[in-house]
Amino acid sequence: MGIEFTPVFLLILVAISLALVTVALSLLLGPKRTNRVKEMPYESGMDPVGDARQRFDVRFHVVAIIFLLFDVELLFLYPWAVAQWSVKDQAASASVTSASATLEPLGGTALASSPDAATPERPVATAVERAQTKATGPVVDPNTVGIPPELRWLVFLLVVVVVVVLTAADAYAWRKGVFEWR
């Protein structure tokens, strides 16, 4: 554990200290009057009536399951959206710019005219990739970022089908009155 985690530990220390100081001050400075109502186990100022072990209505469970269904759908849609509309084109132009910057110290145009030079189909040359790998670590090929362009519309249509099916399920549940508390 290096010095880079110092702010995190300081934040945790301040949070715990603040919680302890707040509780200690309320115990020291707060009123100490107790009565029968304050010592009751139920809060919110209502008298406890009946048994605490009563059954819940099934509607609570149905609403919870429907919420989880749509919540999980959103969890799957976010990574798809990030992969579908990735910045592949910006990454490719950045790689070409980075490649030309790497070519200058290596001899400029002599390396660019080699068989390993960049082409429109392959924006980053192999020699440039080797030079960058030695200088800065491995190069991420922009052609492998996100969903391949030839599959983007197919994946988009599949996601639209999933959203339509889930919307139809939501409309069906709405029509059946699942969300109404009678």
The CA radius of gyration of the chain, in Å to the nearest whole number, is 31
92-115 per-position pLDDT tens digit: 545 444 444 444 444 444 444 445
Question: How many whole angstroms separate alpha carbon 32 and alpha carbon 6?
Answer: 40
Domain boundaries, the chain: 58-86+148-177, 88-145
| Predicted TM-score (pTM) above 0.85 | no
55-90 per-position pLDDT tens digit: 777 778 888 888 888 888 888 888 888 777 665 544
Tell me what pLDDT residue 104 has.
46
